[in-house]
Chains A and B, each alone.
Chain A
Amino acid sequence: MKKTLLYIFLISLTVYACKKDDDVPAIDPDAQVFTLQVPRGFPYPSVPADNRPTNYRVRLGKQLFNDPILSRDSTISCASCHKENMKFTDGLPFSEGIAGRHAARNSPSILNIAYQPYLFWDGGNPTVEQQVLGPIGNPNEMDFDANLVVERLKRNPDYVFKFMQAYGKEPSVYTLTRAIANYERTLFTGTSKYDRYMYDHDSTALNASEKNGMTLFFNEIGDCFHCHVDYNFTDYSFQNNGLYVNYPDSGRARITLKASDVGKFKVPTLRNVELTAPYMHDGSMATLEQVIDHYASGGQAHPNKSNVVRPRPLTAQDKTDLVNFLKALTDL
């Protein structure tokens, strides 16, 4: 009997020595993985196995997202350019970063980011986690360094405590990028009049003008659905929609170096577009009317322009209806 006990003791010791030290006790509800609240009609997004959502993680990520500690001079947070009350955009053609400098492009909304297969207008960044490094290191945005952000966080007992709660680990580049991405993946949009009509089958949710706009949007006359499609109004492809004859920003070609990709940008979502002016990668269009006039005209000649972007016989009423439909994509 004594011998048996000794063996059991020895085995537990060995097993214990083998255990990884990142296991956290799983009793606290805020540490439990929860199911994302996805808008109806939307699929469940894929979430990395090492970064499933918990309340601790989301709360920590949200705090970091809103904290200027991430920038060199502690003036700029992620929220400076992705403002919650502006549907996570900033209303500027080119976002303003540290010391009055300007980002090279227009700040996109990060709502429904969980569905984006790659990040940035040119798709140059592969994951929501890795994207966090972009603005931190960008000299025009936060002009800082992820390792130095981590040093700051480690000196802050409140943050150290929250990182331990969230990941069972100290602040590190790994946990910093995980936490912010974890929060971002909880940001959804999908409660517009259009969703009422479409997914709740409420035929009165859209008025006559909006319905006509919707018809044009999804038929060959307006032809918007070729690119702006499905629940997030994008197929995430790279397209040249004929903004310029000469593109100052080469877009996708910056990543691929292919001449055939010049002027191609990731098709943006159109959800809440009423509230996210100005438009396009360079914020060059101030109003939705301008955008519709652009598509009606067929845009500028460019060898890479999609052949779906071509002059369209839209009446003044059609144009108004299209704009009204776009406005029906605003969250209620």
Chain B
Amino acid sequence: MKKNIYYFILILVTITTVSSCKKDTETPASTEETLSFHLHRNVGTADGIYDSLYQTASGRKFNITDYRFYISNIVLIKGDGSLYPLTGKVILAGPSAMEYELQKVPVGNYKGFTFMMGLDSITNHSDPTTFGAGSPLAVQTPSIHWDWNSGYIFFKVEGKVDTTAAANGSADFDYLYHIGMDDLKRTIDFSTNAFSVVSGSPHELHIEFDLLEALSNVDMRTENMTHTMDNFPLATKIADNWQAAWSAE
């Protein structure tokens, strides 16, 4: 009898140890399905490709050498109107990918979704050196974090632009839009873009961002530089255009 108790304890210890090791992300597959963003970073209707030449609405030539932004705080709106936040998910949209896997979500009908362009203030002021190399919040090459006003750059676009008055020269003048700081995060509303997630087929939400729209009221000839703090009005103007720059594909 004594011996039995002894074994019982051993078994108990084994079970506890093994279960404490278990990852807590395992969930039954049948009721959930993978959701992803299929995301285009466009310039007008074309894909934003580094070193291609583009034109503003007024015909001014420019190219892009960096075109990245952060998306976070994604919230799905379920059929019954309740919210389903994808807590902790952060995307750095950049040239290397169009597919951004979000996570498994319950199958069913959704009324739409919202997300934040930029980062909430806690994430924004976290220490980038503590994230592993694969994380969107790790130190990137080229950097997308300010070390002198500690925080992430939410939206980083750089390149060269033609600054001749008649817009008949070549794109050879550096322009730079670095938008960040807590005040300039913006919630992007896709709350009426209904979709359904069905079991057995991963679902993609097709969305696109248009840089021309984001710069629609920006004169790239004269308004060609902001690190946010040194030209806050220009940074605010661009951030205020983000919602209009988004559309569902």
**What sequence of 0s and 1s flags, for each residue 177-191 of chain A, a beta carbon within 8 Å of any chain B beta carbon?**
110000000000000
Residues in chain B near residue A125, CB distance under 8 A = 147-148, 150
CB proximity of A127 to chain B, nearest CB, Å? 7
Q: From B11, which residue of chain A is reached at the shortest CB distance?
A: A7
Interchain CB contact under 8 A, A255 and B129: no
Residues in chain B near residue A7, CB distance under 8 A = 7, 10-11, 14
CB proximity of B172 to chain A, nearest CB, Å? 19
Task: From B21, B128, B145, B149, give the contact of A255 (CB < 8 A).
Answer: B149
Interchain CB contact under 8 A, A133 and B139: yes
**What sequence of 0s and 1s flags, for each residue 215-240 of chain B, a beta carbon within 8 Å of any chain A beta carbon?**
00000000000000110100000000
Of the listed stretches A71-79, A90-98, A140-148, A281-289, chain B binds A140-148
Interchain CB contact under 8 A, A147 and B7: no
How big is the A interface, by class? 35 or more
Judged by a CB distance under 8 angstroms, whether A11 is at the interface is: yes
Q: From B10, which residue of chain A is reached at the shortest CB distance?
A: A7
Judged by a CB distance under 8 angstroms, whether B104 is at the interface is: no
**What sequence of 0s and 1s flags, for each residue 101-138 of chain B, a beta carbon within 8 Å of any chain A beta carbon?**
00000000000000000000000010111100100001
Task: From A10, A130, A138, give the contact of B14 (CB < 8 A).
Answer: A10
Q: From B230, which residue of chain A is reached at the shortest CB distance?
A: A254
CB proximity of A123 to chain B, nearest CB, Å? 10
CA distance A10 to B20 in the complex (A): 15
Judged by a CB distance under 8 angstroms, whether A115 is at the interface is: no
Judged by a CB distance under 8 angstroms, whether A86 is at the interface is: no
Residues 33-67 (chain B) with a chain A CB within 8 angstroms: none
Judged by a CB distance under 8 angstroms, whether B17 is at the interface is: yes
Interchain CB contact under 8 A, B133 and A134: no
**What sequence of 0s and 1s flags, for each residue 1-42 of chain A, a beta carbon within 8 Å of any chain B beta carbon?**
001100110110011011000000000000000000000000
Residues in chain B near residue A134, CB distance under 8 A = 147-148
Judged by a CB distance under 8 angstroms, whether B142 is at the interface is: yes
Residues in chain A near residue B7, CB distance under 8 A = 3-4, 7
Residues in chain B near residue A17, CB distance under 8 A = 21
Residues in chain B near residue A122, CB distance under 8 A = 148
CA distance A257 to B132 in the complex (A): 32
CA distance A326 to B154 in the complex (A): 45
Interface size on B, residues (CB 8 A): 31
CB proximity of B229 to chain A, nearest CB, Å? 5
Residues in chain B near residue A147, CB distance under 8 A = 133, 139-141
Residues in chain B near residue A209, CB distance under 8 A = none
Interchain CB contact under 8 A, B141 and A148: yes
Interchain CB contact under 8 A, A14 and B21: yes
Judged by a CB distance under 8 angstroms, whether A318 is at the interface is: no
Interchain CB contact under 8 A, B148 and A124: yes
Interchain CB contact under 8 A, B229 and A172: no
Judged by a CB distance under 8 angstroms, whether B13 is at the interface is: yes
CA distance A145 to B143 in the complex (A): 7
Judged by a CB distance under 8 angstroms, whether A137 is at the interface is: yes
CA distance A148 to B133 in the complex (A): 12
**What sequence of 0s and 1s flags, for each residue 1-22 of chain B, a beta carbon within 8 Å of any chain A beta carbon?**
0000011001101100110110
Residues in chain B near residue A303, CB distance under 8 A = none
CA distance A73 to B147 in the complex (A): 21
Judged by a CB distance under 8 angstroms, whether A199 is at the interface is: no
Q: From A148, which residue of chain B is reached at the shortest CB distance?
A: B141
Interchain CB contact under 8 A, A254 and B229: yes
CA distance A125 to B148 in the complex (A): 6
**What sequence of 0s and 1s flags, for each residue 78-121 of chain B, a beta carbon within 8 Å of any chain A beta carbon?**
00000000000000000000000000000000000000000000
Q: From B127, which residue of chain A is reached at the shortest CB distance?
A: A130
With A7-B10, A145-B141 given, is the CB distance from A130 to B128 under 8 Å?
Answer: yes
Residues 199-228 (chain A) with a chain B CB within 8 angstroms: none
A-B contacts, 13 of them at CB < 8 A, read A7-B10, A11-B17, A15-B17, A18-B17, A18-B21, A124-B149, A134-B148, A137-B147, A146-B129, A147-B133, A147-B141, A172-B133, A257-B232
